[in-house]
Amino acid sequence: MSQIFDLVLGVESSCDEMAAAVLRIGHAAPGGPGAVCAGYEIVASVVHGQAEVHGPYGGVVPELASRDHIRSVSDVVARALAEAGIAPEQLDGVAVTVGPGLVGSLLVGMSFGKALAYRLGLPLVGVHHLAGHLASVELAEPLERPYIGLLISGGHTALYRIEVTGPPVLLGETRDDAVGEAFDKVAKRLGLPYPGGPSLSLAAESGRRDAVDFPRPMANRGGLDFSFSGLKTAVALEIERRGALSATEVADLAASFEAAAIDVLVGRACRALRGEGLRCIAVVGGVAANRHLREELARAGEADGFAVHFPPLDLCTDNAAMIAAAGGALLARGERHGLALNAFSRVAIDAAPWADPAGT
């Protein structure tokens, strides 16, 4: 079968990273509703972070994030095109994140992508941020569908069934805090530096995971939903009870919290696989970079006979290659979104309120 290859620019700015990537996508010709993605090549990927901007505040400040995006978006896209060695006119399409996320941040990347697509006469698609994350694992290796997707990040914790066609089907999600948010908040309580999640995991490496028997929220309840607010509160109460913490206590508390959170994630993942009768899970999002989680899921997979797939570390956190991949699949199906495209702070993964059927 003949192949056609499209160069798609992805632009991602949902939170505190401004990212741009150029992806070469191979799909079965001709394009349209029946096209199936056959392979990806990340030609260029640039991510501009804001750790120095938000570090003094211990967390992301939305206004500062969007202002920094305004300053950096043009340069980040230009760097991605230069890294790819192509002119803007050589692009075949533009994909932009339109939600969920911080609206001010989303509007910067989305507006730049819309303007560029308009100037060059290129097809434009809006991409759900979580659909991008779920596509990230297939940037590294093809997976046979259906399979389970576990998306874990600072803003989201959810299990999905990834179908052969159509949008992912939500199986369960957090009822309160995302697991990444819990990592960040506990790290801040322990006096660890921003960004909190990686700092906590680093501290946990020298701690005892059984030092404190923290609760495993909802472990004895049915279903596939998560909850992390109670675990976060339990850590806060333990810190308050102890008062000033030694370095050893910080490490032990970090390790014990991490063990409890990961036990919950692994337990729910195994339950989803059994319930859906599937033998493959893809774990995506920023928390997918956690080394202990990778080890525990690999161990569970060996014991229960299921395959576990993670994106490369640089594709776990927010990036634009994943947006280009998800957007490329939309373009291959013939979807086009017009200049009425707008941003949404909250939106279900199977909804696309930004789609403009008229393409105007």
State mean pLDDT over 236-240: 97
| Domain at 3-133+316-332, CATH homologous superfamily | ATPase, nucleotide binding domain (3.30.420.40)
Least confident of 51-55, 93-97, 158-162: 51-55
| Domain at 147-277, CATH homologous superfamily | ATPase, nucleotide binding domain (3.30.420.40)
> Percentage of the chain with pLDDT > 90?
85
pLDDT tens digits for range 226-237? 999 999 999 999
How high is the pLDDT of residue 187?
97
Distance separating alpha carbons of residues 210 and 213, to the nearest angstrom: 6
pTM: 0.91
pLDDT tens digits for range 64-101? 999 999 999 999 999 999 999 999 999 999 999 999 99
Answer whether residue 251 shows pLDDT above 80: yes
What value does the mean pLDDT of the chain take? 92
How high is the pLDDT of residue 318?
96
Domains 3-133+316-332 and 147-277 share a fold: yes
pLDDT tens digits for range 263-277? 999 999 999 999 999
How high is the pLDDT of residue 37?
43
> Percentage of the chain with pLDDT > 70?
94
How high is the pLDDT of residue 30?
37
Answer whether residue 132 shows pLDDT above 90: yes
State mean pLDDT over 334-351: 92
How high is the pLDDT of residue 165?
85
Could you tell me the residue ranges of all domains in the chain? 3-133+316-332, 147-277
In the structure encoding, which two tokens stand for residue 67, read together? 């202002």
